Structure 1
Amino acid sequence: MRLAADAPTPDWNLLEAAFECADPELRSYYDTVTGEVCMTGPFEDDPGERERIDADPQRYIEIEHVASRERYRWMERFALEEVADQRLRERLLRALTGSRVFRRFKDALLAAPSVRERWFVYHNSALRREIEQWFAERDLPVGTPPPWSRSPDDGAREERDGPA
């Protein structure tokens, strides 16, 4: 991800939501001028949003949702590589067969709260890598790095010394 002082600071939280969105009727766009994420669909907050995006297609880049097959791979890799308990691993892998695999996977994790928490950390990390890769592939500069890329010491140093 390329940093540039004159680049916009993306709305990182809305980017995460846009990448993770599973609703096929919603479309998300990154505004390369402001860093905002615009969403269009059947229940738009701003009915003029679609017209603004269509009027300036160079300014807005569509954000593709993370494909369900990729999210499936995250769950599979997590079960195979991150779960030491063989019985739980087998239960998670069984949940990944048949229908409603996303719901069944999460349900299987309910019996193991600490592993469930690790899943959410793993999932967030995978999602954030997707976002960073998306910016890198398009060579889109950002004004500030995403909050997740800062080390814990950065925040403590900023509090102590003030902004750099």
Structure 2
Amino acid sequence: MRLTAEAPTPDWDSFEFALECADMELRCYYDTVTGEVCVTGPFEDDPGERERIDADPRRYLEIDRLPAHERYQWMARFATEEVGDALLREKLLRALEGRGPFRRFKDALLSAPQERERWFAYQANALRRAIEQWFAARDLPVRAAPPWARRDGGYLHK
């Protein structure tokens, strides 16, 4: 991720929403001029937004949702690499089998509040890494570092 004074400052919170958006009717776009995230769908706040995006496709880059398999891998890595309690680790890995692993995984963590908090921190870091990778893959500069960047100017995720 490059910092440049001429680039926009992305709306980091909206970008997180866009990557995690579960509503298949919505499409999210990054405005490379303003840094805003535009959301289109059946209930648009601005009915002309879709037309603006279509009229200038180089300005607006679609933000694809994180694939389910990637989020699944985060859960599997957390369980195998971060959870020290063998019984909880096995419970989490069993939760990942079959249909509905995302809900079962979170439910399995209900009995371990400290591990549940660690999971949410782990997931947030993985999401932030994905955001940084999105910008890096497109060589898109930003004016300001994301709020999770370290104080020394480096990024948490390389």
TM-aligned CA deviation for residue 46 of structure 1: 1.4
Q: Distance in 1 between matches of 2:97 and 2:140?
A: 38
2:69 counterpart of 1:42:
no
1:90 Cα deviation after fit = 0.5
Counterpart residue number, 1:54 = 54
Deviation string for 1:26-80 (max 9, x for gaps)?
Answer: 1100000000000111221211111110011110000011000000000000000
Tell me which residue corresponds to 2:105.
105
Partner of 2:128: 128
Query: Which deviations, in whole Å up to 9, do the C-alpha atoms of 1:104-127 show, x marking residues without a partner?
Result: 100000100000000001000000
Q: How big is the shift at 1:150?
A: 2.9
Distance 1:80 1:150 in 2: 27
Letter in 1 for 2:133: Q
In structure 1, distance between residues paired with 2:59 and 2:126: 27
1:3-152 mapped onto 2 (5 Å cutoff)? 3-151=3-151
Q: With structure 2 as the length reference, what TM-score do the two structures score?
A: 0.94
Structure 2 counterpart of 1:7, which letter?
A
One-letter code of the match for 2:87?
R
The alignment yields a C-alpha RMSD, in angstroms, of 1.1
SS of the residue corresponding to residue 148 of structure 1 reads coil
Letter in 2 for 1:78: F
Residue 22 of structure 1, CA deviation? 1.8
5+ residue gaps, structure 2, are 154-158
Q: Which runs of 4+ in 1 moved over 6 A?
A: none
CA distance in 1, matches of 2:57, 2:85: 50
Q: SS of the counterpart of 1:79? A: helix
